[in-house]
Chains A and B, each alone.
Chain A
């Protein structure tokens, strides 16, 4: 049904796609995996006839017997949304915030079919029912829905006219683990029911292995390997595929074991955190309890994972542990002393934070030297500039960056290197604990594996403890000693990582583990 031959795309004389060939039959699911910049999304946009301005395309894209590259814009526009549907990564930006969801689904019907308002509305209702939003009225706006529900609306828009081909570009990446699994199931069910073909684009090898019949592995604008899913993963013929699979499952080797009897460096005792209720004209609503008595302890050199879905209170707990917000009950103790927002400045030295997005956490106007040296402000003595420079270079060396990096600006580095800079900044004040807030979630598989290795090495060498806050069970499994599972402001399960994964006590933990794509499990299910 879809056949791509020797597709090449150049943008400003730079080859983005180099001689790509793919084919796909009705009812098939094709997984396209690769790291960012490998050309996955560009392939999708080329099929949709939406390449970026100034791109030159060669080759053929035959869809239902016609070459899409020969069609005019108007003809392509008639295909898009009708014969070919598309689901994007971020449902918040893919939906129009000022239109009701019903109107957005109905719009597609009205554009492509001679349908009356009422008919379009009925079709929209039916599409929303199909994607599991039967109890959501058409008159809702996107901001009134959860992330998962928004992605369902985006899928309803894509499938309302029963397209022959559905392209989903990282459709679950922006969602929680359990929601991810539901959305993926939904997509697969819909294409099966309609007998349509699905191109599933993802960076997640395990997810593709679970869902796709065929897999194409992309690197630098080329398909390095493609084939039937089971066979491809069984053979792992191409070194790049092999490396990807290895990196995805990488568990960094650690030599140092934390001392179980040592006094904890960071401790929370029955921490309660309320958010003030929404203030109306005269009176305030009662406060909303986000954390209800959370206790945890992290020992020197220990790596602890804190997992939970968005809204579980992870971030609130993290902010309380960092003493950024006051707590309404209980206390946080750092290195044996109470730690509050009013704690003396030097006490903050003992705990540092690495953020999820290195783009946002590094001031773009500062040099790396200045950025990395910023926590030195926490030391009591002001350092002379030569000493400052020496320490910056030393800590950059620890995270594997050259000394010259100190004079450059964040935008001159790749995402992985930027996260290394952020880690260097966390290390320079020689903390006892580093909290990592989804610190590897934004990174590609291979880069993520490198950063995890680096973190394990640093923990071995420096004896620093980590609190790994994440929704990614895979990361937790590979790196942490102990795991805490959080739900609705409470820690519902905690224990040594291996035990929790082998025998989860709480149903929510079991649900989280089951929802996380797992390469071995996916391949075992195939056999």
Chain B
């Protein structure tokens, strides 16, 4: 166990070196979200804007570092060398970034409840945060393995999130993954949770299979 923790620590340090400044984007979003929750005064009913901040500002970055990490596979000449290793460590990579982001979600939710009261955030919101974190994590990696291009994958995530959050889910017609109002346990919400869960499994499957598969074209 100690060896795995040391492995993870070294891997984080390495990711910081390979990613440069981009590594600090998710922590910066976390700090920004925390500051907005703690220091921007809101009154009911606009306190729910802070929940939207957690969903739209912090959670979408849960797959950010993994896009860069797995993106190394698609650099020219790297795949044959890295695939056998990444295949072996893919779960550990997913676990370490899931853990970090879920910890961030817990801290932001805690800050929200501390500021506006425990009852201000429902259990459904917390479930939704967790599902959304995994959704973004695997949606990001699946976009990467399918497009084999870091920039395209980041652009897909960025455009989707901005359109959804900026228009509060009114622009795009399909079922929305965000909650822009306090949740109520009704068919709409159940459908949303089911859709998120299925998407997570599908995107996780695509990620694992594609990374394990590597490039098997003949030459």
Q: Do A and B come from one complex?
A: no
